[in-house]
Each structure stands twice: as C-alpha cells, then as structure tokens.
Structure 1
Amino acid sequence: MKIGLITIQNSCNYGAVLQTFAAQESFRKYGHVEIINYQNTHTDKTTKKLRFGTTPRDVLRFGKDFLRLLPKIRSLKKFNLFFNNHYKLSGAPTQDLSSIKDKYDYYVCGSDQIWNPQIISEAGTIDSNYFLGFTQSKNKISYASSKGSYNYTPDESKVVCSLLKDFKNVSVRESDTAKYLNVELQRPVEHVLDPTLLLSKPEWLDCLKIKKSQPHKKYILVYVLRKNKILSQTVQAVAKKLNLDIIVIDQDPFTTMRCNKHINDAGPVEFIELFSNASFVITNSFHGCAFSVNFNVPFIITPPPTGLNRIMSLLEEVGAENRAIKTKDEAVSLANTPINFEPINIKLQAIRLKSQQYIENSLTSATHSSNQ
C-alpha cells in the first residue's frame, strides 16, 4: 500500500517537523509512506538564512534573522540533517502536485494547522492542496488536521465543506473543531491525538537514537512562543522554589529572561533530548504541552498569545486542565504539588489507542458514502 502524506514538513519549527515525522512513523505500519514535498513558499520561509519581504512583519523577521545569523546557520544545518536522515520525501520540492494525483493508494492530510489560512498563506487564504484538492482519489483521509483558533467566514466554510465532501474519513486535532465540522459537514468527524502523542517516550528515544542521560544539574526547560511579564515572574518563582537551573530554548537572537542557559540553535533531536531530561517545563506552546504530558515531565502552562483551545483540548482529555495557570501564585502552588501521572497516562493511552484505531479503520474500511 502506498500512502502520501501532506503537511507542513519544510519548516524550522520544532512542532511542525516532529509531528511530520511522528505521522510518517505512525502510518508506516500500514504501508510505504512518502511525505509529499509540497513547496509552500510562505511556510518555507523559516528555512531561509535571511527572510526578505516588503511588509513590516518581513522587516522584523529580517532583523531577527540578521541578529541571529550564526546560530540560525547552525540550527538550519541540524534541521536539514534531520530532514535527510528521517524524512521519506516524494521527490524534489514542487508547487504543482498534479503529477502525483494518481500515485498513491491513500492520501492523508494532517496534522498541524494546515487548515488555518493565517498559518499557511501570506495572503491568509485557504490552500486547497492541504485539503487534497489536487487528487480525485476515493481514498482521502485527514488525520488530526487543525485550523487552530481560526474561525472561518461563511464563504470559507462553504469552500472547506466542498473540499471535504468526498473524504473517506475526517479527523481533527481539537475538540471544538470536531464539533464545528460535524455540524457543517453533517457527518462524523473524529477528534484524535496530535501525531507526536502517538509515539511513547521510549519510541521517541529509540526512533531518534537518543540515549538516556542524567543532566549535570537539574533544570526547568522554558519553551514559549512569546514572552510576557507573567511568564518571567512564573519562571523565576518556580526556579527558586524548586532550586532548579533555567534553560530557555527558542529561536530568538537574545533572551530578556534571566536564565542559566539560552539555547537558540537547537535542532529537532536536541529539542527531544531537552524535554526528555528536564525536571520541570514551563511553556505556552501546544507541542511544549504535548511533550511534557507524553514524557511525564511536571509542567505549567502560562497564558499563550493565541491557540489556548489547542492546549486545553489536550489537557481536558487527559484530566490535567489545572496545569494551565493565570497568575504567578497559582504557578508556585502547582510547582509545590507533585503530579500524579498515572491517571493521565491511562487516559492518554486510551485516546492513543482510539487514534491508532482511527488510522487502521481509515486504511482498511469501505469507502465512506456521502449518503450515510
């Protein structure tokens, strides 16, 4: 069986790259998987040494890249090494996918925010390729596709429904999106796990050949999308309470946060190593939350700039919604309270099995009928 997977694969974003790899590995159990090497010039920008453009945001990006040029060159080298060693790509990058419209037995789109126009397009428009619009195959599947916190306009909703009407099975990453599409499409839409959660911690370490190690000094790992006052106060208070070093991982030229180590040139493998060895995690990132839960690392979620629904959807599923805080005092109280991961792991494993069953059923069951 040949399976083609389209997602945001070419990016220097830890979550995007690791979910791509995890999806590839999860579907590989059922056949030969290739990641469709779709060239999205917008999401590809993060793989450039310097990002050029004319908008104010482009100018800010260029400035950030320039200030971080040497670390970024080191980081890009690590990301490219990961692509070469761990991706099974369909071929050279291309924007025209018509040549592969009949290549695969099954076509899969997902995960990540491939259905969020603000993420995948400079113009903020829907990209039909991420809805498998380039093929007329009867075996189209979405796995954990996400629109993030984006709300479609009525016109966009019509486009989305039209693109999804001939899908064999549809699943998404967030519970609110599942409810929304269930009503819009008038058909079952499954809520499944992000691919990174389909692999257990031992599987991650084994797949990436990471050896367990004991850090010289125990540390809090800080991985956030955007820093704010609550975050800084929380990190300092928790570090003092637990007597831990602070390691900040991001892709910023500098950090305004007091820390023992700032890592801004890590590759995907180092990202996993840092999470697997951390004693505590403070994050406002969905994938920061996902890896903390998956690796059983005590964690706190500070208010994210956007996308709280993604994080809360996961936390509510595993019964850990109390780990999302709004104040420093809440954080200190939680840091003092050990997490019992046993019930969390039981719930996570149940959802993992349900998600894996969705994949198996999608690849083996009879084609969905729009009249059902």
Structure 2
Amino acid sequence: MKVAILTFARTNNYGATLQCYALSKFIEQCGHQTSIINVPLMKAGAPRKKSFVEKLMSKMHGYFHQYEKRYHRTTEELQKDREYDRQNMLLFDDFRSVYFPNLTHEYLTEADFEKDFPQADLYVVGSDQVWNLWVTNIQYPLFFFSFLKHREKRISYAACLGGDRNFKFENEELNSIRNLLADFNGISVRDTTGLSILKEKFNIDATQVLDPTFLINSYDELLKDSSVDASCSLFSFKFIINDEWVKVIKYLAEELSLNIRMDTCLIHIKGLPFKPLCTVQDWLKLIKTSDFVFTDSFHGMVFCIIFKKQFIVTPSYKGGEERYMDLALKLGLEERVYTSPKEIFLSNKWKNVIDYDAVYKKLDVLRENSKKFLTQYLIQNINP
C-alpha cells in the first residue's frame, strides 16, 4: 500500500522533524511504502490580524509576565543568529537527505498539485500543528487536503489545531474547513483542545491519539550517529531564554550538582557553555544521556518520557500549556509542568523521582489505542 504523509517535513525544528520521521517509520514497519509530501510554509500573504481586545490582552499579559520575553538582540547579534540558522538548515538538510529519501519535490499551491499529483492509496495529514491557521496561514486548505479528489482515501493522525480553544475562525474558513473535513475517512487529533474545537465548531467527534514519536520502539538508528555524551549534566533546551530563566537553569544545576549543557541556544550567556549548532541526532542524544532536562518544548518533554528522564517543562507562551498538561495528566506527570520561574523556586515536587513503571502502564494503553486507530486504515480497500 502506498501512503502519502503531509506534515511539516521541511521545518528546521527537532520535534517537527522527528514526528515526521517516526510516522513514516511506523507505517513502513507495518509493511507499507511511504512518501512525504513536501509543502514548505510560505511567508507570502498578509498574516492573520488580532482584534483590539486580543492585542490589549497580549500587552497586559506581557507586562505581568516578563519571563516570557526574549533577550533583546543587537543588529550584530541578529546577523550572527541568521548565520547560525543558515548552518543549522544545512544540518537539517543533511538529515532529510538520509532519512527522508521519499520526500517529494515542492508543492506550494493547489496549482502545483494539478501539474503533478502525488499518487497514493492513503493520504495522512499530521502530526504537529498542521491545522493551526496561525501557522499555515493562506496555505491552510492544503493541510485539509483541498488538492485531493473526493474519492481519495484520507485521514488525519494526531493533527493539532494550536493551543487556543477560543480561536476565532472567519466564516469563509469555517465553511471551507467544514466541507473539506466531510471528505475525511477518519479524524484524529493530538490533544483535548483539538477535540473541543472540532466538536464545537464542526460537530465532529474526533479520536485523540498520541504524538507519532511514541509509535516506534527505538531511535537507535539515529542515536548511533551521535557521539555526544551529556552525562552528569542538566540539558536546557528552551525557545524562550532571558535573565529569569537563566536564574532557574543555574538554580536547578546547583540543586542537582550537575553541569549545564545549552546546546542549540543561539545566545552566548556569560559563564555558560555556548554551542549553537546541533544535529537532530545530537539533540536526541543530549536528552538520552543527560541526568536532567529543562525545556519548554513539547517534543522535548515527549523524548524525556520516551527515554525515561527526569525533567521539568515550562510552556513557552500563554495558551500553549494545554498540550503539555494534557499529556502530563494522562501519564500522571502533572508535577513536572510549571508555568513560571516562581513556581519552580517555591516547589520541591520536581525533585521527586519519576516512577516510570507507573507512567508506562498508562502510556502502553494509550500507545496501543493510537496504533489501532492508524493501522485500521492501513488495510487495502478497507474504509472504516
């Protein structure tokens, strides 16, 4: 069976890249042939506009939550950042050239699909925030398979609509998405926010499944390509970094008597090691070999669970905490989720050792149910 996957395959992001790798790998392990539809996100087109109330609330939130602000960057520093980004892109391209040999050529618009249509028996969209219109912008119809004919078999796997259950759809968007979803053979999402939005806005009862990174049993194929060793270290992987969070990082390292690793961080912080370039394989190995992980990345949290690491996760923006807490509650890990530096300083619960035997009893059930949802569609001529 030929299966075409549509996700963020060309994003230079560790989590997005690895969820694509895992979904493709799992489907191949089930005995099927995969291709990855290459739809790079365009910057063209006007971004979605916030209402006056949304802008006001955002400013008020920023005033009272200074720890969500990034360091101010000088022009010279921004130029260095762009160079690091360019070099990191080459590292991600190297990864894709080896592990995504089935990546198609670029499709940017529906017109591109009309010229050269990717043939498959099943089309799968997901995971990651493929249904978040803040991310996909004017390309959003493509991620609801607007380019497919009505007869083509299609499903979503662990699609995410973003963290805002109060997201305001335009009427045109609502009608367009409603019509496109009507052609889906199966719909699954990654979090309860997605379940709520689909039910409230489109009257669809979707299935909740795990992120595809949980579907495969081993990442040894990638880990063997890295010589990184972060033992006796606290690995900090954060998108938001500022003085408040640096204090937390140093506090955690001191409390745990660990060295600090901040690989991938583009900001050179005095007194801390600086290594801005990091391969996908090294990023995985840093989590795998470290003693403790401090992150605001959803997939950083996921791989801590996969590798059974001690960790703290701090959602990087208001409204983004639901996907972290959603997974944490299902696995009994809510004590690992914090929303501010103050919460960490005032709590000792993060020092408790995670009972991964108990976590995996719950995870194994969720994993089996997630596999069942996907594999039922991986049968030729079966249309659940």
TM-score (norm 1): 0.84
Distance 1:152 1:279 in 2: 42
Please identify, of 16-25 and 60-69, the stretch whose mean Cα deviation from structure 2 is larger: 60-69
In the alignment, which residue of structure 2 is the partner of 1:20? 20
In the alignment, which residue of structure 2 is the partner of 1:158? 175
Question: SS in structure 1 opposite 2:348?
Answer: helix
Call closer, same or farther: CA 1:63–1:13 in 2, change over 3 Å: farther
Question: SS in structure 2 opposite 1:97?
Answer: helix
Q: Kindly state the Cα deviation for residue 17 of structure 1 after the two structures are TM-superposed.
A: 1.0
In the alignment, which residue of structure 2 is the partner of 1:244? 258
Q: Kindly state the Cα deviation for residue 210 of structure 1 after the two structures are TM-superposed.
A: 4.3
Distance 1:74 1:310 in 2: 30
Matches within 5 A, 1:357-372: 357-364=372-379, 366-367=382-383
Counterpart code for 1:336: K
Please identify, of 96-105 and 283-292, the stretch whose mean Cα deviation from structure 2 is larger: 96-105
Distance 1:117 1:64 in 2: 31
Distance 1:294 1:84 in 2: 25
Equivalent pairs, count: 344
Q: Which of 336, 351, 354 is the aligned partner of 2:366?
A: 351
Structure 2 residue 94 is matched with structure 1 residue 81: yes
Q: Which of 310, 322, 327 is the aligned partner of 2:323?
A: 310
Q: Kindly state the Cα deviation for residue 74 of structure 1 after the two structures are TM-superposed.
A: 3.5
Please identify, of 206-215 and 21-30, the stretch whose mean Cα deviation from structure 2 is larger: 206-215
Question: Over aligned residue pairs, what C-alpha RMSD do you find?
Answer: 2.6
In the alignment, which residue of structure 1 is the partner of 2:245? 231
Q: Kindly state the Cα deviation for residue 235 of structure 1 after the two structures are TM-superposed.
A: 1.3
Distance 1:132 1:62 in 2: 41
Structure 2 residue 53 is matched with structure 1 residue 41: no
Distance 2:270 2:365 in 1: 38
- Conserved in 2, the CA contact under 8 Å of 1:138 and 1:168? no
In the alignment, which residue of structure 2 is the partner of 1:172? 189
- Conserved in 1, the CA contact under 8 Å of 2:3 and 2:120? yes
- Conserved in 1, the CA contact under 8 Å of 2:227 and 2:282? no
In the alignment, which residue of structure 2 is the partner of 1:149? 163
Q: Kindly state the Cα deviation for residue 11 of structure 1 after the two structures are TM-superposed.
A: 1.6
- Conserved in 2, the CA contact under 8 Å of 1:112 and 1:145? yes
* Runs of 4+ with deviation above 4 angstroms: 60-65, 99-102, 210-215
Q: Kindly state the Cα deviation for residue 220 of structure 1 after the two structures are TM-superposed.
A: 0.6
Distance 2:238 2:35 in 1: 31
Where in structure 2 are there 5+ consecutive unaligned residues? 45-72
Counterpart code for 1:240: E
Counterpart code for 1:79: F
Distance 1:350 1:211 in 2: 31
Distance 1:76 1:64 in 2: 18
In the alignment, which residue of structure 2 is the partner of 1:107? 123
TM-score (norm 2): 0.81
Distance 1:257 1:23 in 2: 40
Call closer, same or farther: CA 1:212–1:63 in 2, change over 3 Å: closer
Q: Kindly state the Cα deviation for residue 79 of structure 1 after the two structures are TM-superposed.
A: 0.9
Call closer, same or farther: CA 1:213–1:10 in 2, change over 3 Å: closer
Q: Which of 134, 137, 140 is the aligned partner of 1:118?
A: 134
Q: Kindly state the Cα deviation for residue 263 of structure 1 after the two structures are TM-superposed.
A: 2.4
In the alignment, which residue of structure 1 is the partner of 2:5? 5
Counterpart code for 2:123: Y
Counterpart code for 1:190: T
In the alignment, which residue of structure 1 is the partner of 2:337? 324
Q: Kindly state the Cα deviation for residue 61 of structure 1 after the two structures are TM-superposed.
A: 11
Q: Kindly state the Cα deviation for residue 229 of structure 1 after the two structures are TM-superposed.
A: 4.8
Distance 1:338 1:142 in 2: 36
Q: Which of 71, 95, 100 is the aligned partner of 2:84?
A: 71
Distance 2:77 2:181 in 1: 38
Deviations 1:310-356 (A, max 9, x none): 11111111110111124446456134321111111111121111111
Distance 1:102 1:206 in 2: 28
Call closer, same or farther: CA 1:30–1:139 in 2, change over 3 Å: farther
Call closer, same or farther: CA 1:258–1:317 in 2, change over 3 Å: farther
Where in structure 1 are there 5+ consecutive unaligned residues? 44-59
Question: SS in structure 2 opposite 1:33?
Answer: strand
Distance 1:117 1:276 in 2: 33
Please identify, of 239-248 and 191-200, the stretch whose mean Cα deviation from structure 2 is larger: 191-200
Provide the identity percentage: 24
Question: SS in structure 2 opposite 1:281?
Answer: strand
